[in-house]
A and B are shown apart, each in its own frame.
Chain A
Amino acid sequence: MNKFSNILSFLVLQLFLTTAFASEIHEPMRPDWSFQGPLGKFKRADLQRGYQVYTEVCASCHSMDLLSYRNLTEAGGPEFSKDQAKAMAAMFEVEDGPNADAEMFMRRAILSDRFVSPWKNEQEGRISNGGAYPPDLSVIVKARAGGADYIYSLLLGYQESPKDLIIEDGVYYNIYAKNQRIAMPQVIYEDGVEYTDGTAATEVQMANDVTTFLAWAAEPKLEERKRIGFKVILYLIILSFLLYFTNKKIWKDTSH
């Protein structure tokens, strides 16, 4: 009996502790993403603005190694025109070579080049960020529990830290980060970019756009996948009905 009540009180304690700690963890915000749901699609304009936020704000610290400039023109993505994308690539320089003189040389990036990384290597990235490496953002939306909701919330989650909380040097208080601390400073500020399409660059707008862009980068075939999936499932449902009735007919004369 004693043991039983021990276990019981332990259970109650557990329950209490989990609820107590739950208040410390902030569930990410859940904006209505256009790409959610079985028929969801990316908004082209959001993706295009998102690319602008990425290049003008994030790209000074974060690489996106898995993407090429040509991806910016592909169906289901930002769908920039070829010329636009060529011009965007040409803003970056990449090392190429060796040439006939056995020398490496710099040239403007072209569509088939990968997104140019801000760092020569991981060490350089760390040195510039007080030891923390800004992770590659190519698949970041799939690499975090909470996905787009989490990334969006994180970008907007910077606040004045509570007075009783000691925040170490080189880390910033963010209510959505693990332990409320992150080595990335707040980077999204109102009018941090000047949108080429004239949209007002509020914090929420910028966070929405860049997160949408990152969601596409992580899952560039999302629209194709859902489109095909819809047809496949429709086909299979019709087929299953036909099979159901065929099966019924075949078994009609067998008592079972």
Chain B
Amino acid sequence: MSEDYTPKSAFGKWFDKRLPLLTLFAGHVLAYPTPKNLNYWWTFGGILTFCLITQIITGLVLAMHYVADANLAFASVEHIMRDVNYGWLLRYLHANGASMFFIAVYLHMARSLFYGSYKEPRELIWIIGVFIFLLMIATAFMGYVLPWGQMSFWGATVITNLFSAIPFFGEAITNWLWGDYSVGSALLTRFFTLHYLMPFLIFGLVILHIWALHVPGNNNPEGIDVIKGSQDTVPFHPHYVIKDVFALVVFIIIFAGFVFFSPNILGHSDNYIQANPLQTPEHIVPEWYFLPFYAILRAIPDKLGGVIMMVSAIAILAFIPWLDTSKVRSSKYRPLYRQFYWLLIADFILLGYLGSQAATGIYLIIGRLATAYYFLHFILIMPLIGFIEKPKPLPKSISEPVLSKEEQKAKVEKAARA
């Protein structure tokens, strides 16, 4: 990278000698060699970093006005909406920001899955990512409890009650979690504390995630290694800085569309009713981003079994680097696997839809099939296809398919001139 970097100013030189932050920045942000063929699916990493920082900043200011007490929380959120300067903006940014965060993370994960970015030598990047996803789920779940509406309360009740499925100690563990014999202020206060803490843990993991990324460098749509020191890479700045910022701005336009013009469309109207332990809502549904996992939870007739399956649905992701037996990374060159990839995506979306419906009748049956297929994909289809599939021939280098396309163009032009 840029071991040859030296700061220009005298102060920069003085500082960098004692703490080489500038060198770090120059090496990992400015000069960092990046494959030149990355498409827009690669912009979600930057977008996710933006989401995390946005959540932290808006969250910090919200926390200055929010009161974590079962009797006061709902009114304190309305106080933020009505009386705090731009409080409505902060809260809508934070609430919709969580949704945008999950949109981005799902696309980011789908990208990695399609292009085999989890494969050797990038297994740890992927596994750290799975942990980030897990922490995001915990953070968003606890955050949704904070406004103490009906869905907050009943969502917290349903999910914390899952722990009672643990054999022998279930009830004791649940009461310990609650800090009480029911869901109330004690739980709300600890959820607030943890909700405040976890984004900073995520931040730490993001640093590890990027650190691990910068060891082998980025994967790319061709899924082949870059040739060191060749035309295959470009410096991160300005090429990818500008491209990422452009994609980010487009993302923010959509984000702003939600925040300013339909800020409650992704939420549930029941959460504007203050929590009432005596009145169960007709349907208890989680936020949209949890629906696929909620469907898996309910697909299993047994509570403990459901919990195990739901946790496994995420845990299994961590094993993908070894479940995928193919030598080829990118699905571009995997004609058979590619079809199953899209089937998995469809299955996941179907699960999401089922999660929003009452788990009865035909929905329950389809939910079970879709759950079974989800696991089947990873346990059976993925390892098997690696053995039986005949991948398409890979290009020799990143520059090769590019050049040949150009050559083609040149040919066409020559022909036109002749």
Contacts and interface: CB of A to CB of B under 8 A. Distances in A.
Among A135, A143, A236, A256, chain B packs the most CB atoms within 10 A around the CB of A256
Give the interface size bracket for A toward B. Answer: 35 or more
Interface stretch (B24-32, B113-121, B167-175, B248-256): B248-256
Contact of B256 (A11, A139, A229): A229
B141 interface: no
A225 B87 CA distance: 11
B317 interface: no
Contacts of B270: 143
Given A10-B361, A66-B82, A250-B242, A228 B260 contact: yes
Interface in B225-274: 234, 238-239, 242-243, 245-246, 249-250, 252-253, 256-257, 259-261, 263-264, 269-270, 272-273
B37 interface: yes
A66 B253 contact: no
Nearest to A251: B239
A243 B361 CA distance: 51
B238 A250 contact: yes
B242 A246 contact: yes
Contacts of A251: 239, 243
Nearest to B363: A14
B256 A232 contact: yes
Contacts of A65: 75
Nearest to B234: A254
A256 B362 CA distance: 49
Contacts of A144: 269
A105 to B, nearest CB: 26
Interface string A217-243: 010110001101110110011011001
B269 to A, nearest CB: 5
Contacts of A255: 36, 399, 402-403, 406
A138 interface: yes
Contact of B36 (A11, A225, A243, A254): A254
B78 interface: yes
B88 interface: yes
Nearest to A38: B261
Contacts of B376: none
A247 B246 contact: yes
A152 to B, nearest CB: 16
A237 B253 contact: yes
Contacts of B269: 142-145, 147
A7 interface: yes
Interface in A188-247: 218, 220-221, 225-226, 228-230, 232-233, 236-237, 239-240, 243-244, 246-247
Contacts of B78: 66, 138-139
A243 B247 CA distance: 9
Contacts of B257: 233
Nearest to A17: B361
B198 interface: no
B96 to A, nearest CB: 12
A143 B250 contact: no
A87 to B, nearest CB: 23
Nearest to A224: B88
Contacts of B252: 236
Interface string B85-98: 00011001000000
A230 B261 CA distance: 9
Interface in A31-56: 38
A243 B245 contact: yes
Contacts of A135: 273
B60 interface: no
A256 B260 contact: no
Contacts of B242: 243, 246-247, 250
18 contacts: A11-B362, A66-B75, A138-B78, A143-B272, A143-B273, A218-B272, A221-B88, A228-B89, A230-B260, A233-B253, A236-B249, A236-B256, A243-B245, A246-B246, A247-B246, A250-B239, A255-B406, A256-B36
Interface of A: 7, 10-11, 14, 38, 65-66, 71, 135, 138-139, 142-145, 147, 218, 220-221, 225-226, 228-230, 232-233, 236-237, 239-240, 243-244, 246-247, 250-251, 254-256
Interface of B: 36-37, 75, 78, 81-82, 88-89, 92, 234, 238-239, 242-243, 245-246, 249-250, 252-253, 256-257, 259-261, 263-264, 269-270, 272-273, 361-362, 365, 399, 402-403, 406
Query: Nearest 5 CB-CB pairs, A to B?
Result: A229-B260, A143-B272, A243-B246, A142-B272, A221-B88
Given A225-B88, A243-B246, 5 more contacts: A10-B362, A145-B269, A225-B260, A236-B252, A251-B243
